[in-house]
């Protein structure tokens, strides 16, 4: 069973990019299975920071195959910019493969995202405005375009029909669009995209499985943004849980081995939606500054708060997490006290599962308090060297979640990584 899956367990930005890049040498193939340019995955090594949006985080290991799976929505314009940016580092992309069944984001998807959000007023989702929702709507509505369509003779015709459909939708909004300029930029980017390896990725991946190659499936958005199980409607439009790796790559569940769950030592969220442990005070601001908690895709300040164990247990339950990776512990190094939410108080009662409704005004987090470790973790070289207050914090998380922590991350660089067997 050679397929491992790596998932963020919170609201995104857990450090998925860093970990995939770190683990990549253990695998022959890395595959993205959902999401699109809404993702911002950061990798740091040799003093350089890279932010990837659509390209899998194994791309800096040139002998490893990197696959963009059928569950992804791909924007050719963003793709072109990413390729141009990465080309400066001399990457060849010979091992980058794109599913013919992945959906295409067209420029009007981005505009629809914007006008829909504007129309929602203070109920807006806080979308990244990358066209994700409208593109997945077209996929489910069965009139989307796929990567495989790009090389067909009738592609321009199909494209025009989709744009006409979008023009009708846009007619309901007062929004000026320069379609000619958009089309020009789009088709220029499409020409570049067509030069890449466009494959039947489900066969490609299953062939690799049959050959016994090991595969790491890289989740894009966090579990609490899952279309079914996240804090709906404040979610993204794809399946970010383990099952998404099966449908987003064409991999049968029987091939899944480990399911790695990544979490920060605290919580963050970008965009709207409930966040019960949010800190709107100086500690929240401190965590934001210390952790550089600003969106990798949009630059928006991330909302910050304490760890929310019921939400984490829920995310772990729906995906069957087998190993935990605890990220960004260094951000809490100097705090006197750290809190963890273990339940929610309402009218004197404690609930231990996250509420599914979005009006949470009468819920208060029930916190367990921990003393801080008050020392720098950045230079630590092994689990044994962890300060005892941090070890206790980790044990508490492990006991509550019933899953062990196998990796602790103490900084953004590849080198700032402590690992137990995994």
Would you tell me which residues interact with ligand IMO (CB under 6 A)? 8, 11-13, 38-41, 125-128, 130, 132-133, 220-222, 225, 234, 236-237, 270-271, 296
3-state secondary structure 107-152: HHHHHHHHHHHHHHHHHCCCCCCCCHHHHHHHHHCCCCCEHHHHHC
CB of 87 to ligand IMO, least distance (A): 22
Tally Cβ neighbours within 10 Å of residue 382.
10
Q: Does 36 bind ligand GDP (CB under 6 A)?
A: no
Shortest distance in whole angstroms from residue 45 CB to ligand IMO: 19
**String of DSSP letters for 264-320:** ESSEEE-SSS--TTB--SHHHHHHHHHTT-B-TTT-PBPEEE-EEHHHHHHHHHHHT
Does 331 sit near ligand GDP (CB under 6 A)?
A: yes
Cα gap 327→336, rounded to integer Å: 19
Phi–psi pair at 305, nearest 5 degrees: -170, 180
Exactly one of 327, 394, 403, 407 binds ligand GDP (CB under 6 A); which one? 327
- Closest by CA position to 416, among listed 18, 57, 24, 42: 18
Take residue 277 and report the two structure tokens written for it: 């442990």
- Helical H segments across 150-270, by residue range: 155-170, 179-193, 201-210, 242-249
Kindly state the smallest distance separating residue 353's Cβ from ligand IMO, in Å.
Answer: 22
Which of 4, 13, 75, 413 is catalytic? The answer is 13
How far is it, in rounded angstroms, from Cα 387 to Cα 335?
14
Query: Is residue 13 among the annotated active site residues?
Result: yes
Binders of ligand GDP among residues 175 to 214 (CB under 6 A) are none
Which DSSP letter does residue 105 get?
P
Cβ-contact 393, 332 below 8 angstroms? no
Q: Give the residue carrying structure tokens 């997945």.
A: 136
Binding marks (x or -) toward ligand GDP, 399..418, rule CB under 6 A? ----------xxxx---x--
Q: How far apart are CA 97 and CA 88, in angstroms?
A: 20
How many angstroms separate the CA atoms of 200 and 70, rounded? 9
Nearer to Mg ion, 40 or 230 (CB): 40
Burial of 51 (0-12, 13-18, 19+ CB in 10 A): middle
Q: Which is nearer to Mg ion, 236 or 377 (CB)?
A: 236
CA dist., res. 221 & res. 237, Å (int): 10
Q: Select from 16, 32, 166, 339 the one that contacts ligand GDP (CB under 6 A).
A: 16
Q: Which helix (H) or strand (E) is 79 found in, with range?
A: helix 76-87
The binder of ligand GDP chosen from 10, 28, 42, 99 (CB under 6 A): 42
| Min CB(291)–ligand GDP separation in Å | 6
CB of 134 to ligand IMO, least distance (A): 9
Q: Which of 5, 9, 17, 401 binds ligand GDP (CB under 6 A)?
A: 17
Least distance to ligand GDP from the beta carbon of 320, Å?
20
Q: Does 8 bind ligand GDP (CB under 6 A)?
A: yes
Q: Which residues touch 178 (CB under 8 Å, ≥6 apart)? A: none
Binds 18, which of ligand IMO, Mg ion, ligand GDP, none (CB < 5 to 8 A, cut-off by type)?
ligand GDP
Active site residue 154: no
Binding site partner of 229, from Mg ion, ligand IMO, ligand GDP, none, Cβ cut-off 5-8 A by kind: none
Q: What is residue 365's DSSP assignment? A: E
- Smaller CB separation from ligand IMO, 135 or 199: 135
According to DSSP, the β-strands at 267-269 and 303-305 are: antiparallel
- Rounded least distance, CB 409 to ligand GDP, Å: 3
The listed partner (ligand GDP, Mg ion, ligand IMO, none) that binds 125, CB under 5 to 8 Å by sort, is: ligand IMO
**According to the binding rule CB under 6 A, does residue 143 interact with ligand GDP?**
no
By CB under 6 A, residue 296 contacts ligand GDP = yes
Q: Closer to ligand IMO at the Cβ: 132 or 380?
A: 132
Residue 328: which of ligand GDP, Mg ion, ligand IMO, none does it interact with, CB under 5 to 8 A by kind?
A: ligand GDP
**Residue 292 contact among ligand GDP, ligand IMO, Mg ion, none, beta carbon within 5 to 8 Å by kind:** ligand GDP
Active-site residue, selected from the candidate residues 41, 53, 406, 416 = 41
Stretch that binds ligand GDP, among 35-43, 195-203, 309-317, 342-350 (CB under 6 A): 35-43
**Interface positions with ligand GDP (CB under 6 A):** 8, 12-18, 40-42, 44, 291-292, 296, 327-328, 330-331, 409-412, 416
Instruction: List, by residue number, the catalytic residues.
Output: 13, 41
């Amino acid at each position: 069973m050679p397929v491992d899956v790596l998932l963020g367990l919170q609201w995104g930005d857990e450090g998925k990019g860093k970990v995939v890049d770190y683990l990549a040498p253990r695998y022959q193939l890395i595959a993205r299975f959902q999401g699109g340019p809404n993702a911002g995955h950061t990798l740091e090594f040799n003093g350089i920071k890279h932010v990837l949006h659509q390209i899998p985080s194994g791309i800096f290991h040139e002998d490893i195959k990197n696959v963009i799976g059928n569950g992804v929505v791909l924007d050719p314009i963003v793709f072109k910019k990413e390729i141009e940016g990465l080309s400066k580092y001399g990457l060849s992309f010979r091992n980058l493969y794109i599913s013919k069944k992945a959906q295409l984001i067209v420029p009007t998807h981005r505009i629809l995202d914007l006008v829909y959000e504007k129309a929602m007023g203070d109920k807006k989702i806080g979308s990244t405005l990358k066209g994700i929702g409208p593109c997945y709507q077209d996929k489910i509505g069965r009139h989307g375009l796929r990567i495989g369509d790009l090389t067909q003779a009738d592609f321009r015709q199909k494209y025009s029909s989709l744009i006409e459909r979008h023009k009708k939708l846009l007619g309901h909004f007062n929004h000026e669009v320069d379609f000619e300029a958009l089309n020009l930029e789009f088709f220029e980017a499409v020409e570049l995209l067509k030069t890449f390896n466009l494959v039947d990725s489900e066969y490609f991946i299953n062939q690799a499985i049959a050959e016994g190659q090991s595969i790491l499936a890289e989740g894009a958005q966090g579990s609490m943004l899952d279309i079914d199980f996240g804090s709906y409607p404040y979610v993204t439009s794809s399946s970010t849980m383990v099952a998404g790796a099966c449908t987003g790559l064409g991999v049968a569940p029987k091939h899944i081995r480990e399911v790695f769950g990544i979490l920060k030592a605290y919580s963050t969220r970008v965009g709207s939606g409930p966040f019960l442990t949010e800190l709107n005070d100086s500690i929240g601001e401190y965590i934001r500054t210390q952790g550089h908690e600003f969106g990798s895709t949009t630059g928006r300040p991330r909302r910050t708060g304490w760890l929310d164990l019921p939400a984490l247990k829920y995310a772990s339950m729906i995906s069957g997490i087998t190993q935990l990776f605890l990220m960004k512990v260094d951000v809490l190094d100097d705090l006197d006290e750290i809190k963890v939410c273990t339940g929610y108080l309402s009218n004197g009662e404690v609930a231990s599962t996250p509420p599914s409704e979005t009006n949470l005004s009468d819920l208060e987090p029930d916190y367990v308090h921990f003393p801080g470790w008050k020392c720098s973790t950045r230079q630590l070289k092994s689990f044994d060297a962890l300060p005892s207050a941090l070890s206790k914090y980790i044990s508490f998380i492990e006991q509550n979640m019933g899953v062990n922590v196998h990796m602790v991350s103490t900084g953004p660089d590849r080198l700032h990584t402590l690992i137990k067997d995994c």
